[in-house]
Structure 1
Amino acid sequence: MSTTANPSAWPSLRVDDWTDTRNTLHMWVQIVGKIRMQYAPLLNHWWQVTFYITPVGMTTSSIPYAGDTFDIEFNFIEHELLFRRSNGKHTSFALEQMTTAEFYAKVKAAMDAIEVPMDIILTPNEVDPAIPFDEDTTHKTYDKEAVTAFWRQLSKAHIAMEEFRSHFIGKVSPVHFFWGSFDMAVTRFEGTIAPRHPGGVPNCGDWVMVEGYSHKLSSCGFWPGGGEEGAFYSYTYPVPDGFSEQKIEPAEAFYSEEFQQFLLPYEAVRQSDNPEEKVRQFFNSTYAVAADLGNWDRKALESTPDRLERYQEGAAPAECILG
């Protein structure tokens, strides 16, 4: 495993080398994510529950409570979990080897310290088996070097995904981390209602998937699976006929029958001469396949991020938007 100090490098992190830590971290972020879900008002597609990448880790962002706000941030450089409330109350504790039950107890004590009640469902979502957090002594591994490397993977993917997001003026999600599925995603929407999602995700109500997939979409992201070092992915819902047979870029990408989506192994990106271009090709080509087969109005939904400069240069508004 390599976690180079150079922040511009794409770090190497074999999935098999940090599986125990990954599974433990998955439980820990679920605990914190459920706190955000407890207090944040419902947004379309569950956007109110997600985390966001920061220069040191990931955060819940501000959460409303009793007329003010609080947030919780994972610092994956100093390996701390920070709790801050806008009335000045704050606390933290070290991220280190401990059982998930111990982590849960520490989180509850920290919430008491900032005087915000914590009342979450103790069963994790989207995993099987699902051990209640306060009883979980199985997930207890925390490899600091691996966690930092994973966060750096997310940071590099985040930059690429923000650039991809900037080319769309239709409804599009933030670039955000879903703690249930443990992946980072950005999703473009066609604008019309989709067929009802069948659900079927372990320990997750079908109605959760119905809300998440209520409208036609094309989603891409990064997760620590699907390749030796994780994978970029892309899928569409509903799936148009012929989607899986389409030719996409780059050459290392493929359609996975197991996961029912296109995958681009992270190691293929990291080892290339131009990682950013590899990711750009993958996102653009898989979206184009989804949009064309799904009959999206691409001229109305797509744009160019340099349109303000082109306005200033005197281009016609339509040229700026469609160019």
Structure 2
Amino acid sequence: MQHWPDIPYQLWKPTGESLHMWLQIVGKFRLALTPWVNHSWHATFYVTSRGLTTSLIPGPNASYIVDFDFFDHRLVIRSTSGDIEALALHPQSVADFHAHFVAALDAIGAPSDFHGSPNELPEAIPFAEQKALGSYEPEAAHKYWQALLAIDRVFQQFRTGFLGKVSPVHLFWGSMDLAVTRFSGREAPAHPGGIPNLPDSVTREAYSHEVSSAGFWAGGGGLDYPAFYSYAYPTPEGFKDTITGDGPAFFDEALGEYVLPYDAVRTAADPEGTLLDFLEQTYIAAAETGGWDRAALECEPGLAGQPREI
């Protein structure tokens, strides 16, 4: 049975703030070298058996993979030339982490010239100028990874029930959320943009087509607790009024999204079923109110070892 740890936001927040910046730094390295893929899918992280990974990053003379290890609490950089560099994850400033990471890249001959400021934050203070000592609690990081592991398993299962275009299950370092997105196949109206310190061109490309997107935050972004979210873009008329009742999920007017507190899932008799139901119900709300061709887009959930019957 998958473990669903307790990750109260106030205890997680200091470590989370450090990890957010560290993920952005490593993400910027990946972004600088990887050819653009639709909806910025080329820049994300993926959940692994020990933490988070970039997957393989192409370079001019070699390729690289960068892993956050939340068992040994190290950042490990591996090159296809056989070189390995590792950094300890411990309390330090963002500036120090940035400097150590750049030095490690230089040591294995990896390109180390990448954009030096964060995205999607009100103040984009360059990494090299963030010199205040940051926090890192190994237990908090490990529990965060355990939560991601449990959530990734459910998101992956949810992904199998769709024949249309669907994203990987991946973590976006800009907003630090694990997400999975389904597409109707139709173009969407141009997104208005306006996300702090993110070019509007990136946002418009990300939302070039209609979506129903769900994900998980460990807290922040308008919520002081860990939670799941689900939204549609563009938001169809009636979407926010579709799911009602006494359940733990609700529509947050300020965020414009359905929200399900993580603790409501963690403490449920069937956490996986509770989360899967939220994903299914909010997707159906988006598809029904948005007029998606559900018969053409949906299929039975995938089963291990069994090809889909056609």
Q: TM exceeds 0.5?
A: yes
Which residue is 2:71 aligned to? 77
1:244 corresponds, among 233, 240, 243, to 240
Which residue is 2:159 aligned to? 165
Q: Is the 8 A contact 1:248 1:282 kept in 2?
A: no
Which sections of structure 2, spanning at least 5 residues, go unmatched?
none
Cα separation, partners in 2 of 1:246 and 1:52, compared to 1, 3 Å: same
- 1:74-106 deviations in Å (ceiling 9; x for gaps): 001110000000011111011001100000000
| Counterpart AA for 2:127 | F
In the TM superposition, what is the alpha-carbon distance from 1:8 to its structure 2 partner?
Answer: 2.4
Output the CA distance in 2 between the equivalents of 1:162 and 1:141. 31
Which residue is 1:137 aligned to? 131
| Counterpart AA for 1:290 | A
Output the CA distance in 2 between the equivalents of 1:275 and 1:18. 21
Output the CA distance in 1 between the equivalents of 2:290 and 2:305. 30
2:58 counterpart of 1:35: no
Pairing 1:19-34 to 2, within 5 Å after superposition: 19-34=13-28
Which residue is 1:91 aligned to? 85
Instruction: Report SS of the residue matched to 1:276.
Output: helix
2:54 corresponds, among 35, 60, 70, to 60
Output the CA distance in 2 between the equivalents of 1:264 and 1:109. 41
2:210 counterpart of 1:216: yes
**Which stretch shows the higher mean deviation, 110-119 or 246-255?**
246-255
Q: Is the 8 A contact 1:24 1:142 kept in 2?
A: yes
Q: Is the 8 A contact 2:118 2:125 kept in 1?
A: yes
Which residue is 2:283 aligned to? 287
**Which stretch shows the higher mean deviation, 22-31 or 114-123?**
114-123
**Which stretch shows the higher mean deviation, 124-133 or 302-311?**
302-311
2:8 counterpart of 1:14: yes
Which residue is 1:4 aligned to? none
2:40 counterpart of 1:46: yes
Instruction: Report SS of the residue matched to 2:167.
Output: coil
Output the CA distance in 1 between the equivalents of 2:139 and 2:304. 41
In the TM superposition, what is the alpha-carbon distance from 1:262 to its structure 2 partner?
Answer: 0.2
Instruction: Report SS of the residue matched to 1:18.
Output: helix
Which residue is 1:320 aligned to? none
User: TM-score, normalised on structure 2?
Assistant: 0.95
2:271 corresponds, among 263, 271, 275, to 275
Instruction: Report SS of the residue matched to 2:21.
Output: helix
Cα separation, partners in 2 of 1:115 and 1:308, compared to 1, 3 Å: closer
| Counterpart AA for 2:74 | E
| Counterpart AA for 1:212 | A
Q: Is the 8 A contact 2:34 2:58 kept in 1?
A: yes
| Counterpart AA for 2:270 | N
In the comparison of the two structures, how many residue pairs are matched? 307
Which residue is 1:3 aligned to? none
1:230 corresponds, among 198, 214, 226, to 226
Which residue is 1:258 aligned to? 254
Cα separation, partners in 2 of 1:92 and 1:248, compared to 1, 3 Å: farther
In the TM superposition, what is the alpha-carbon distance from 1:130 to its structure 2 partner?
Answer: 2.1
Output the CA distance in 2 between the equivalents of 1:250 and 1:42. 43
Pairing 1:193-212 to 2, within 5 Å after superposition: 193-212=187-206
Output the CA distance in 2 between the equivalents of 1:93 and 1:310. 42
Output the CA distance in 2 between the equivalents of 1:240 and 1:210. 18
Output the CA distance in 2 between the equivalents of 1:60 and 1:128. 25
Cα separation, partners in 2 of 1:141 and 1:307, compared to 1, 3 Å: closer
Which residue is 2:297 aligned to? 301
Output the CA distance in 1 between the equivalents of 2:291 and 2:237. 12
- 1:178-231 deviations in Å (ceiling 9; x for gaps): 000100000000001100000111111111110110000100011112666400
In the TM superposition, what is the alpha-carbon distance from 1:138 to its structure 2 partner?
Answer: 3.0
| Counterpart AA for 1:121 | H
Q: Is the 8 A contact 2:185 2:210 kept in 1?
A: yes
Superposed CA RMSD in Å reads: 1.7
Output the CA distance in 2 between the equivalents of 1:183 and 1:116. 27
User: TM-score, normalised on structure 1?
Assistant: 0.91
| Counterpart AA for 1:100 | V
